[in-house]
Amino acid sequence: MINILSKEPIIKKSILLMMISMTVIFSMFAIFQYKNIKNIYLEQETINKKLVGTLANKYPEQEANIVNAIYKQDDSQLDLGIKILDKYGYNENYDMYKNVNFKEHLKYFLRNNLIVFVAIMISVSGIVSIFVNHIYKRLIKVNNDIESMINNNYIIEEDFKEEGLFNRIYSDLNKLSRSLNLKIHDLDREKESIKELVTDISHQLKTPLASLKLYNTLLLEEELDEEDRVEFLKTNDMSINKLHNLIDSLVNISRLEASMINIKREYKSIKQTIQNAINSTIVKANQKNIHINLTNFEDIKISHDSKWTEESIFNVLENAVKYTQESGQVNIEVSQTINFLKIDIEDNGIGIDTSEYNSIFKRFYRSEEVEGVEGSGVGLYLTRKIIEQQGGNIIVSSKKGQGSKFSLFLTKV
């Protein structure tokens, strides 16, 4: 823990400041103590001078011995000195505070040490206060950022490039903020998508349900001849089929958008996938005497989901048959590039206006010109979704009244 904290810039600065402060404080303390020791020495020198002066005045012939006794280490007369001082009450039990000279020195000593102690406490308190205040400001900023996130304000500062614990916290908060912002954006977008889907479903179901309700009421309440009754039943059957197809499409859309459809890509024959889609369309094509021509090509195995790729090709073929007049043509041609396999599906039907190129791939979009033709407007939407989920793409080129060509691009790897 100490090693981790010692690597933090704020801790490093605090330790450096503490060391500088303690060095200054120790220097001040050493100066004051030196002065105290010097005062003790000067006080002792004064006493020595008094003592030498008094004794030398009375015994001038012993002047050298007196000086040597004071300044040279000689304990031969120590016991005699103790006895004499004890005789006058200056022994071990003598209260040092009664000594006037020492009392004055003690006051000076205590005053100096008190000054040093106060200086140390002020310095340490200042250092601790600066450190705590710095930490407090950082914590307040973290708290404010968290409160902003709680209040749905997810924009915080840019990433901190400095090192340190708090900067890492800020950087992580930024990452969390952006992640939450993206998730909220995705949720809002999904919410709008669901709202649009519900609106589209409601709109798409309204017409066939209204038709069913109307003709069912007529069948129940009106006295109809057999011809009218059969006609109404056929109309209801068409509405039921439309509802059935619409519900199937809606289920596929909802599963695809909720990622419930799991695209499983495997290396399989692309020719077989295309042929299966043609086989599913051939009945409706034969009913309109429309020829579906597949240009021969060298079969290859590419990574694709055969089931859903077949579905996407089928949707395009079904539209081609649906919007091509009787005895028309639908031609399929396959070519390759380095990275893609291209499937061109071209018809000679009614064509698409250039202004509708982007719209036709939208969910439930149907041109006003084909409102009378059976359909739900989800086929091309599903096709685009399926192809894109496999890393491919679909584009359209068309001329009004001359037909359309849809190009499906599938990745080869």
CATH code of residue 245: 1.10.287.130
Name the nearest CA neighbour of 407 among 328, 331, 327, 348: 331
240 and 269 assigned to the same domain: no
pLDDT greater at residue 81 or residue 266: 266
Position 250: which residue type? L
End position of a domain, from candidates 237, 255, 273: 255
Query: What's the whole-number average pLDDT of the chain?
Result: 78
Give residue 270's pLDDT band: very low, low, confident or very high (50, 70, 90): very high
Looking at residue 316, its pLDDT comes to 93
251 and 271 assigned to the same domain: no
Check: CB of residue 383 under 8 Å from CB of residue 315. yes
Name the nearest CA neighbour of 270 among 405, 379, 390: 390
135 and 189 assigned to the same domain: no
pLDDT greater at residue 26 or residue 340: 340
Looking at residue 276, its pLDDT comes to 94
Enclosing H/E stretch for 404: strand 403-411
Tell me, what CATH number does 400's domain have? 3.30.565.10
Give residue 282's pLDDT band: very low, low, confident or very high (50, 70, 90): very high
Following CA atoms 47, 51, 54, 57 in sequence, which dihedral angle do they give, to the nearest 10 degrees?
-120
Question: How far is residue 297's CA from residue 408's CA, in Å, rounded to a whole number?
Answer: 16
Range of the domain at 357: 265-411
End position of a domain, from candidates 131, 150, 169: 150
246 and 276 assigned to the same domain: no
170 in any annotated domain: no
Looking at residue 175, its pLDDT comes to 75
Give residue 165's pLDDT band: very low, low, confident or very high (50, 70, 90): low
Most confident of 106-120, 154-168, 393-407: 393-407
Position 221: which residue type? E
6 in any annotated domain: yes
50 and 187 assigned to the same domain: no
Q: Considering only 191-195, 320-324, 349-353, which range has the smallest mean pLDDT? A: 191-195
Strands 393-399 and 266-269: unpaired
Residue 348 has pLDDT above 80, yes or no: yes
Question: How far is residue 11's CA from residue 6's CA, in Å, rounded to a whole number?
Answer: 6
Q: Where do the DSSP E strands lie in 270-402?
A: 291-294, 301-304, 329-336, 340-347, 393-399
Check: CB of residue 403 under 8 Å from CB of residue 347. yes
176 in any annotated domain: no
**What is the distance between the terminal CA atoms of the chain, rounded to a whole angstrom?**
51
End position of a domain, from candidates 129, 150, 171: 150
Domain count, the chain: 3
Looking at residue 100, its pLDDT comes to 62
Looking at residue 353, its pLDDT comes to 87
Check: CB of residue 294 under 8 Å from CB of residue 358. no
Three-state DSSP state, 267: strand
Check: CB of residue 389 under 8 Å from CB of residue 263. yes
Q: What is the mean pLDDT of residues 11-34?
A: 73
Three-state DSSP state, 204: helix
Enclosing H/E stretch for 182: helix 165-221
Q: Which two tokens stand for residue 187?
A: 């949720």
Residues 6 or more apart in contact with residue 393 via CB below 8 angstroms: 387, 408, 409
Q: Which two tokens stand for residue 178?
A: 């952006």
pLDDT greater at residue 340 or residue 86: 340
Looking at residue 257, its pLDDT comes to 64
Residue 172 has pLDDT above 90, yes or no: no
Question: How far is residue 156's CA from residue 173's CA, in Å, rounded to a whole number?
Answer: 8
155 in any annotated domain: no
Looking at residue 20, its pLDDT comes to 77
401 and 329 assigned to the same domain: yes
Most confident of 20-24, 73-77, 355-359: 355-359
Looking at residue 375, its pLDDT comes to 61
Q: What is the mean pLDDT of residues 143-149?
A: 74
Q: What is the mean pLDDT of residues 327-350?
A: 92
275 and 385 assigned to the same domain: yes
Residue 24 has pLDDT above 80, yes or no: no
Check: CB of residue 264 under 8 Å from CB of residue 389. no
146 and 30 assigned to the same domain: yes
Cα 76 to chain center, whole Å? 88
Tens digits of residue pLDDT in 184-238: 777 777 677 667 766 766 766 777 788 788 878 877 777 777 787 788 788 888 7
pLDDT greater at residue 68 or residue 155: 68
376 in any annotated domain: yes
Looking at residue 162, its pLDDT comes to 53
Looking at residue 57, its pLDDT comes to 83
188 and 242 assigned to the same domain: yes
Phi, psi of 135 (to 5 degrees): -60, -40
188 and 285 assigned to the same domain: no
Residue 330 has pLDDT above 80, yes or no: yes
Q: Considering only 62-71, 130-139, 202-211, 368-377, which range has the smallest mean pLDDT? A: 368-377
Looking at residue 5, its pLDDT comes to 46
Question: According to DSSP H, which parts of 270-323 are helical?
Answer: 270-287, 306-322
167 in any annotated domain: no
Furthest C-alpha separation in the chain: 167
Question: How far is residue 15's CA from residue 6's CA, in Å, rounded to a whole number?
Answer: 8
Position 330: which residue type? V
293 in any annotated domain: yes
238 and 299 assigned to the same domain: no
350 in any annotated domain: yes
Q: Phi-psi region for residue 326, left (φ > 0), alpha (ψ -120 to 50) or beta? A: beta
Question: How far is residue 90's CA from residue 98's CA, in Å, rounded to a whole number?
Answer: 11
289 and 250 assigned to the same domain: no
